[in-house]
Structure 1
């Protein structure tokens, strides 16, 4: 019985690099949405046969992770440039504006940056650390360190992400200017960070106080 002929491995198309593949994928997710990206749609956009695409990226998951690394790096650069030479409220406002601008200009990449994380990719990890360093620098302007800085940073990230996520899906129906609401958010964040407790000890709620009283009996 004749042996089956194995297909040769896919070869990269001349002139096409992984960077070009990832950049095109990033353009597609911004245009069509992160969840709409497929290997077939990317191959069609590039004008190549689907098997040729696998010479540059291993799978759809790998492609999405590469886009996430690209997006995280771009966002980190935007924030780094925004806060350079600034501190406290000025740094906070510029970081927030840069964050929002990126999320609105690159909606697909923004989604990729926190849904396709690869914790084994040094490039993506370094890009993520750059974002964290930017936020940490803002916290230092408010003289927040260690646990207090971590809690405040999570508060900041949650606030910015929540606003832009609602805005991206046209979730703000009221005619009030979204820019005005975002600036009000930044002012509120500034006030909150300016009065943030340095020890960041959790405040006892009614439930925890009741539990504490019972345990002391």
Structure 2
């Protein structure tokens, strides 16, 4: 008999909380079933496999990140937009390290229309933030890749404890944002 109130959303949320506490790599179906207080076979009524569970976490996280970044840039453009987006992104990654890892380490399943929709929503938020620099077409795409790669790199290194020097990481993040702003302001000069 199924546990009352247990559904796919509850299972994915519990798995996401476990990923934050213990890491996405350490997440197992057995650990999740134990946390939920159900028998392991009962878990498969809600998710097909561990890979499917990780995909569901990634999908939920990307949807949440898209929403948070979109809220952060409301009413802002250019420098103010990318700074607000980056701060929201970084705050999420710091607060939810396991979820962030799921969103960045698990490749989206683009055969799932939900994954396509969420990926487009995330890209559109970044594009909206960057349009304040007057970028369009291919330049907008290249700039979005540049900004996303830099932001993900910084947040990932920070999350892994890679900034070990006794120097404020917040100041480094501010410098990263200022450098990104300068690069985006002179994007036409950055073309090969």
Give me the TM-score of the superposition, normalised by structure 1.
0.85
The answer as to 2:109 corresponding to 1:141 is no
CA shift for structure 1 position 78: 0.8
Higher relative helix content: 2
Structure-to-structure mapping, 1:89-100, within 5 angstroms: 89-100=79-90
Segments of structure 2 that go 5 or more residues without pairing to the other structure are none
Matches within 5 A, 1:36-47: 36-47=26-37
Q: Distance in 1 between matches of 2:38 and 2:55?
A: 21
* Among 178, 196, 213, the residue aligned to 2:187: 196
Task: Structure 1: give runs of 5+ residues left out of the alignment.
Answer: 1-10, 204-217
How far did 1:83 drift? 0.2
Paired residue secondary structure (2:188): coil
* Residues paired across the two proteins, number: 191
Q: Which residue of 2 aligns with 1:184?
A: 175
Q: Which aligned pairs between 1:35-74 and structure 2 lie closer than 5 A?
A: 35-74=25-64
CA separation in 2, counterparts of 1:69 and 1:154? 20
Larger Rg computed on CA atoms: 1
| CA shift for structure 1 position 139 | 1.8
CA distance in 2, matches of 1:128, 1:36: 25
State the TM-score, normalizing by the size of structure 2.
0.95
